[in-house]
A and B are shown apart, each in its own frame.
Chain A
Amino acid sequence: MPFASVTWLKLSKPPDTDAPPMTPPMTPTMTPYLFYTLAGLAIAGSTLVVTRRKPVHAALALLVTLLAIAGLYLMLYAPFVAGVQIALYAVAVTALFLFVIVLMNLLLNQPLKLQPPSHSVLRFAHRDYSRVWPVGLAAGCGLLASFTYALVKSRTLFPDRMVSPSGSNTQQITTLLYGENGRPGQYILSLEIASLLLLVTIIGAAIQVGSSRSVIAPLKKEEPRPSVEDRDERRITNH
């Protein structure tokens, strides 16, 4: 045998080949542990997103959640969706949220500082949470309970089997989106609509920024001597 690994495989076989193996072939044994770890990370991260007071902490918890969900996609044999999740959600959207948090802190002239600790639960709730937050929390928990009840009761609806994918995942998705052998794909119209949506989004974002500049610009033109607030703002912006 030229390769050592092949020899190792032959040696690691059970001595009596008639006995059935302990696990069915090609079944990874680490899967439940990996699943529970990733699911726990996702749920803990999303809980932190909802409960943290500072939006920066919430954004970082959202990053952890999105990466854990990308890991779940990998476990579901969807590597292309996992890549899109990491590249688009975990990088772009989280960076966008961090950017807008910092920018709004600068615009509203509130430096990034730790807030004084709240002394009572009621003040904490009144400041960062909606006034009717128990109702919202109860609605969310009720929705979650009804979902879980329905899923557990309808467990027989979902077959335990999982069909193993055949062929390359990215190639299958591309065939569905763009087509194959000169024929258009099944979802090519949806793809065009999605790209049109992205184009409209870009134009809309540009128009929004232009309108906000038209709000700011005349104020600075009319006011040659800046007030104390504006000077502070400029100092923060120049940093």
Chain B
Amino acid sequence: MLPITTVHYLVVAAALFGIGVSGVLTRRSPVIVLMSIELILNAVNLNLVAFSRMWGNPQGQVFAIFVTVAAASQAVVAVGVLIVLACGVVARGAARNREPSPNHASLPNGLPNGDAE
């Protein structure tokens, strides 16, 4: 069997990247879109670590750690946005139950129900 070279890892990372881009472009659920973004960032990380191994230089791994930090921050902020939007949906539903013609100009736009299952 052929020895594993850098190109093998690059092909795996390219596959992960392509699958992640497909997920971002095709899915409607915002949570799954976030997971696809995580897949894309992981593909980038795998590339960085593979090149770090190729040159025997740990700077690529340092970059991978920075990418991980940025990805975690992005996930936290995006999840917070999703929770705020879901709260907006709940508040709008409650307002619709209370009054026949509510004024929900001050409420944030909610998600359609099909998006958050």
A interface residues (Cβ-Cβ under 8 A, vs B): 27, 31-33, 35, 39, 42-43, 46-47, 49-50, 54-55, 58-59, 62, 65-66, 69, 72-73, 75-78, 80-81, 84-85, 88-89, 92-93, 96-97, 99-101, 103-105, 107-110, 115, 127-130, 133, 135-137, 139-141, 143-144, 147-148, 151-152, 155, 158-166, 169, 172-173, 176-177, 186-187, 190, 194, 197-198, 200-202, 204-205, 208-209, 211-212, 215-216, 219, 222-223, 227, 229-230, 233
Contact = CB atoms under 8 A, between A and B. Distances in A.
B17 A144 contact: yes
A155 B89 contact: no
Contacts of B66: 187, 190, 194
| B contact face: mostly helix, strand, loop, or mixed | helix
B89 to A, nearest CB: 6
A192 B11 CA distance: 33
Interface string B77-109: 101111110111111011101100000000110
Nearest to B78: A100
Contact of B69 (A43, A100, A194, A211): A194
What DSSP secondary structure best describes chain A's contact surface? helix
Contact of B83 (A88, A204, A209): A209
A89 B42 contact: yes
A151 B10 contact: yes
Interface of B: 1-12, 14-29, 31-32, 34-36, 38-39, 42, 45-46, 49-50, 52-59, 61-62, 64-66, 68-73, 75-77, 79-84, 86-91, 93-95, 97-98, 107-108, 113-114, 116-117
B111 to A, nearest CB: 8
Contacts of B15: 43, 46, 144, 148
Contacts, number: 291
Pick the 4 closest A-B CB pairs, nearest first: A163-B56, A136-B25, A144-B18, A140-B22
